[in-house]
Amino acid sequence: MAVVMKEHIRNAADRVYRYMTESRSTDWGMNIHEWDWVPGVGTIALLHYYDRTGNKDVLDYLIRWVERNQEKAGRTKVINSMAPFAIFPRLYELTKETYYLDQAKQISQWIVQEAPRTREGAFEHTVTEKDSFPEQVWADTIFMAVLLLARTAKATNDASLATQALEQVSLHLRLLQDEATGVLFHGWNCVKEDHLSAARWTRANAWVCVAVPEILQEIAGLVAIPEQIRESYKRMMDGLITYQNEHGLWHTVMDRSDFYQETSGSAGIACGMMLAIRTGMLNESYRVHVSKALDGVLSKINATGEVNSVSGGTPIMPTIEAYQSIEQIPTLYGQGLVLMLLAECSGLA
């Protein structure tokens, strides 16, 4: 990658980072001082940015963020509110403050022992809102909760936690993967044994694309990884490539080219490819698809660092057509997934 391009990526990453951390917005999508999945994805991305750049300001921000918001931690225990805890094992590693590790262990035990499960044994996707989705498996859960289990397993050398994380990855891939295309459906209903509206939703695939390479890397020394999981992941990626459009992006429902192009999911898929290449799950030939996606994502970042064309919060919609009606708004998860991709592509490691 040319030096000029690397500098362009670094500048874009800095703008995205500042838009996230300097915003005083109290809007749902950009309020970083809540304890839920939206700021959770944002903080996970900031930590990833720190790990790839070594920018101490980013680490200082995260430490202060926890100090400001820790009284909210664990107030509502659902799958989505587990996301912010995923930064705790790494913060312990960096600071040696036992608070982080104690919290990570406590919350991980809640997930394993008390979080509702479907009859298939997968974690039921639960949210902080009043809505409930009994016996439903969502792709989102892998990023929001299973990533924490894997990181805590590594930090504590806990093979039982690693086994739980591996089981959830296996279950989610088995239940959500489309046999015909290899990509994932948004969700699975364990009662009706169907994929609900059967949407091949782009951001659902992105959550799994990003999370699985790290989960497997974290737990590899604690449990044997079946080759079938790696094969399923590669089949997903091969399927996703077929839906990448001429601009390098994916539509919000990927097999509906008449739907809008969605930046957060596109960035997540491309970031997942980079992570999978880096961890040996994919070979270098996939990098061309990352480069195409990177060009498309960069075109969606404005001068202030705001990432455009990001779909708002999206439950499993009743019909595929309904996904097109989701509003496009600035969000911390949109910023975050883009920041993760830029960090992976910046050559700063």
Pick the closest to residue 21 from 54, 46, 51, 50 (CA basis).
46
Q: What is the per-residue pLDDT across 126-156, written as a single tens digit (0 to 9) for each?
A: 999 989 999 999 999 999 999 999 999 999 9
DSSP codes of every residue in 42-103: HHHHHHHHHHHH--HHHHHHHHHHHHHHGGGTTSS-SSGGGGGGGGHHHHHHHH--HHHHHH
- State the average pLDDT for the chain: 97
Q: Which pLDDT score, from 0 to 100, does residue 186 have?
A: 98
Q: What is the per-residue pLDDT across 81-96, written as a single tens digit (0 to 9) for each?
A: 999 999 999 999 999 9
Q: What is the per-residue pLDDT across 187-238, written as a single tens digit (0 to 9) for each?
A: 999 999 999 999 999 999 999 999 999 999 999 999 999 999 999 999 999 9
Q: What is the per-residue pLDDT across 258-299, written as a single tens digit (0 to 9) for each?
A: 999 999 999 999 999 999 999 999 999 999 999 999 999 999
CA distance 183 to 239: 5
Q: Which pLDDT score, from 0 to 100, does residue 3 have?
A: 76
The structure's pTM equals 0.97
- 166: which residues sit within 8 A by CB, 6+ positions away? 215, 219, 223, 225, 229
Q: Look at residue 348 and give its three-state secondary structure.
A: coil
Q: Is the pLDDT of residue 348 over 50?
A: no
Give the pLDDT mean for 300-329.
98
Q: Which pLDDT score, from 0 to 100, does residue 2 have?
A: 66
